[in-house]
Amino acid sequence: MTGQTTGLDTTELNTGQTPRAEIGVIGGTGLYEFLTDAEEVQVETPYGDPSAPVTVGTVAGRSVAFVPRHGRSHQYPPHAIPYRANLWALRSLGVTQVLSPSAVGGLRPEVAPGDLVTPDQLVDRTWRRIPSYVERGATHVPLADPYCARIAKTYAAADPSVKTGGTLIVIEGPRFSTRAESIHHAAQGWTLVGMTGAPEAALARELRMCYAPLCLVTDMDAGAAEGEGVDEDDVYALFAENLERMRTVLADTIGSLPDPAGCSCSSWADGKQLAYDIP
């Protein structure tokens, strides 16, 4: 999603109170438009600045905080996104559930360009990113099931065409896969390939937040289809074509999300002494 003028109210708050939000969205700037009563909030974090000021507004009668993953002008490539700052900023505003829309490539015949998919597994093949809030001591976060099943079910209920299940492999980027790499990924049985899903999922779990991706398949990866490799312009074009559909699914999901109280995405840390602070 590319940068655009949003018409947001960027005036300073006169009340001295920082807006709070219960649900977070990490995505592209095209999603600003589904927030009403939008207000920017400058959030300082121990991990530097988030990708952009957090925008807090209302969707389906619920308070939502939005962070453009790549920044306002798409200035952060996948390997340079301030992942820790983004998640920490959302948590500091009260967010306990995070929706993560993104563009991905398809690896298997069960998915095709234009499909919306919420995977249930993750393979992390990134290597330049700081993947944890643990900097000393020992806290070992459970991540056998990296995504929140409640959010995934709510995606599917919002739009029956949303496919559920499958494995997302996250590569370092910013380049696309070679054909040999893509063939290897598909041979492992993995379904989707993207560049931004890690370390978001692990960081959200460490902060005791529910998290689930909503992936739009924009292309079949280089080794999963004959012909030319993946082209950036084609990816952006297909994403733009499906932006309104994705906004609708996200809004309907936000309106129907159940209370996260007791979810294992948070309860895993009950009674534990964590090696880091949660805002």
Distance, in Å, from the CA atom of 17 to the CA atom of 77, rounded to the nearest integer, reads 33
β-bridge pairing 97-106 and 121-125: unpaired
Tokens 């390939």 belong to residue: 193
What region does 141 belong to: left with phi over 0, alpha with psi -120 to 50, or beta?
beta
Contacts of 184 (CB under 8 A, 6+ apart): 223
Known catalytic residue at 219: yes
Distance, in Å, from the CA atom of 155 to the CA atom of 201, rounded to the nearest integer, reads 17
Known catalytic residue at 259: no
Contacts of 80 (CB under 8 A, 6+ apart): none
Please name which of 118, 99, 115 lies closest in space to residue 252, comparing C-alpha atoms: 99
- Residue 123, classed as helix, strand or coil, is strand
Residue of 115, 120, 124, 221 with catalytic role: 221
Please name which of 257, 253, 244, 255 lies closest in space to residue 31, comparing C-alpha atoms: 244
Residue of 37, 115, 219, 277 with catalytic role: 219
Distance, in Å, from the CA atom of 99 to the CA atom of 59, rounded to the nearest integer, reads 13
- Dihedral pair phi/psi, residue 215, rounded to 5°: -100, 130
Q: Which residues are catalytic?
A: 219, 221
